[in-house]
Structure 1
């Protein structure tokens, strides 16, 4: 009886071992499944994070591309938001980031006279493909606050030169700040500048030739060759490389061309804007003009930044609004019925230290409005130094 009871107990213990083994297998399986699930989730989180970071890099590349490809002549004079915005591609036709890492699109907005917002959304390549196929994925939207970065030419006189200046007839160099007729968006005139700024060369007048300003002539021994080739933010060569219009030596007659789909044909190399009628279709067009040698201008007008590698001769009633830089001499004759040959600032390097010959009714008027307007229309942009980046949603 006792022996039979012991056998029953032993048989029961063998049954428990099987149950324990099965339980252990279940626990191990659960642990393996949990580890696999955790690993899968970690992989998904890591992949999602990678896509987010890639999308951010794509958006950043899109912002930088817009900065590098900025077109001042078509962007700087646009209306402020919300009247105007400029698309940077579109969701349906997004641009591909460098290296094919993703696609981006967005807009740029003008927030003020010198401030712009570049708003770009970027997606990594897999997410971009998913969106196109109707799915979803990672995206990052960032903005960059930028401002115009005008070149500092150091213009503090109507005429800056290294050589002598000879004024005859009724020629006049005037450093008193004046706004061109019809330019309604100018600030009030600023303080008078010098008429002529030179390192100490001779300024001669005969007949009714005159120099006006405060003072009329200022001698600045710091003026040298570099004053005409190295400026704050750019060199003469860099500006020439950015030129909207490039012409060889010759005689030119320039006038606004109101053809083309926009009413101002910017493909015409002799269309240098319309400073006489600032409200016209070409009134906001301020090109950078580069002439690779000596040039003569005998009609009718232009505006912007004029770069001449040699001597510039201006005849008749020609008028230019903005900044003019000659690597040699400036010569004028006549003046017709116009108020001035130049409105803005003129710099003549005089590589041979020759004499500037201003005769007839030639007039050079200092105009801070013309200078600032030309700079605003032709300047590139740069990121604000503080708080330039912003995360958008």
Structure 2
């Protein structure tokens, strides 16, 4: 009987596993590599999102910083931009309030109504290169708040008032020569004085207004006031202080860089606006004279004039704004012109002296001259956001 031969090289069916470990290991490595790559990608995305959020927050803070700086340091130049006109751009490229932000802000101011402004501020963070950083734009609607100056006459005083020659005191509201103002005019009384006092016009002189003259008790604490600011407050805010005596040749003055020289005590602004350099046209100083003053010799000025003693105007002097005098007022000679309002306590004696206006002098009520003073003095005006819904994020609006 023949022996059966068995092939020992034949494996049982389905149990041949040659080469399986290597593909499995490679597959596992690929999976691990994909997981690691995905982890790095997600981590990078999270980092980019976090960095973008941080830059966006910094850009928003920069934009708000620019807006707040403009609101805090607002000083309208000639009333600000015209209604519907081109916006006034300020602080182009100004560095942000915090050095760590490494960015800039720019503010554009547009006037959209009477004393209503829209402020658009853009903050740019340029950190980490050309393709990084962020830009955010915010806007706010703000109203110009101004101090109230209750000027009810061209001249408010105590005691008798007399005009002679060709002198004129007028309460009919007019704009001064060269001044630009919006709004309607409102006529006032020519003279307001205390009960029992006389207002007399002699020769070709005139006192006119709506009405010509009125009588009212004179209280210096109420009369010498601009908004909430009394006499002492205004003196403390004075830009120029002079001892009194003769004051001559007040006129616009410029420094070596052709900028308005606000340190010069005889620079009282540019009311006529005929000087080629316009830099002093919006300079309205508060001028405090600590004694009796005689102002003459073709002087020019604008702002608020505070006189502790008497005031003697003569010799072609022009002033636009508010004149407050604790003592007596005397105006004589041709060419003396005051546009705005004049207030004189006339010494506050029991029997005040006679206030005289002679020659071709003019005291002319002008709400335009008064509003220009109020609007251009930083201590008397403020730009504030409107109360409801003033702030808006303009970044995604395409403005």
Please state which band the TM-score falls in when normalised by the shorter chain.
0.7 to 0.9
- For structure 2, which runs of at least 5 residues remain unmatched after alignment? 1-5
Distance 1:37 1:388 in 2: 38
Distance 1:146 1:46 in 2: 34
- The change in CA–CA distance for 1:356 and 1:67 in structure 2 (over 3 A counts) is farther
User: Displacement of 1:358 after TM fit?
Assistant: 1.5
Pairing 1:164-203 to 2, within 5 Å after superposition: 164-170=158-164, 173-180=169-176, 182-183=177-178, 185=180, 190-197=185-192, 201-203=195-197
- The change in CA–CA distance for 1:383 and 1:4 in structure 2 (over 3 A counts) is farther
SS of equivalent to 2:55: helix
- The change in CA–CA distance for 1:5 and 1:345 in structure 2 (over 3 A counts) is farther
Query: How does the TM-score come out when normalised to structure 2?
Result: 0.72
- The change in CA–CA distance for 1:42 and 1:264 in structure 2 (over 3 A counts) is closer
Contact 1:167 1:210 in 2 (8 A): no
| Number of aligned positions between the proteins | 372
Deviations 1:245-280 (A, max 9, x none): 3213323224324655549655532122343x4433
Pairing 1:165-314 to 2, within 5 Å after superposition: 165-170=159-164, 173-180=169-176, 182-183=177-178, 185=180, 190-197=185-192, 201-205=195-199, 208=202, 212-218=208-214, 225-226=221-222, 228-229=224-225, 231=227, 243=238, 245-251=239-245, 252-257=247-252, 260=255, 262=258, 266-275=262-271, 277-281=272-276, 284-291=281-288, 293-299=290-296, 300-308=298-306, 310-314=308-312
Contact 1:114 1:376 in 2 (8 A): no
| Equivalent in the alignment of 2:104 | 104
1:66 aligned to 2:70? Answer: yes
SS of equivalent to 2:60: helix
Contact 1:242 1:288 in 2 (8 A): no
Contact 2:329 2:344 in 1 (8 A): no
| Equivalent in the alignment of 1:140 | 136
User: Displacement of 1:320 after TM fit?
Assistant: 1.7
Deviations 1:7-39 (A, max 9, x none): 775664x97688667656654554454344223
Deviations 1:206-232 (A, max 9, x none): 673975433344456796625534506
Of 142, 150, 155, the residue aligned with 1:154 is: 150
Contact 1:254 1:272 in 2 (8 A): no
Distance 2:172 2:88 in 1: 38
User: Displacement of 1:287 after TM fit?
Assistant: 1.6
Of 34, 38, 41, the residue aligned with 1:37 is: 41
Distance 2:25 2:61 in 1: 53
- The change in CA–CA distance for 1:242 and 1:48 in structure 2 (over 3 A counts) is farther
Distance 1:29 1:129 in 2: 30
SS of equivalent to 2:394: strand
Distance 1:351 1:229 in 2: 17
Distance 1:235 1:220 in 2: 20
| Equivalent in the alignment of 2:124 | 123
Deviations 1:80-111 (A, max 9, x none): 69789555243xxx424235423324364565
User: Displacement of 1:347 after TM fit?
Assistant: 3.6
CA RMSD of aligned residues (A): 4.4
Distance 1:40 1:263 in 2: 53
Distance 1:221 1:7 in 2: 128
- The change in CA–CA distance for 1:25 and 1:285 in structure 2 (over 3 A counts) is closer
Contact 2:64 2:138 in 1 (8 A): yes
Contact 2:171 2:188 in 1 (8 A): yes
Distance 1:262 1:88 in 2: 21
Q: Greater helix share, 1 or 2?
A: 1
| Equivalent in the alignment of 1:88 | 91
Deviations 1:48-70 (A, max 9, x none): 01101101111221232233334
Distance 2:346 2:38 in 1: 83
Query: How does the TM-score come out when normalised to structure 1?
Result: 0.72
Contact 2:153 2:171 in 1 (8 A): yes
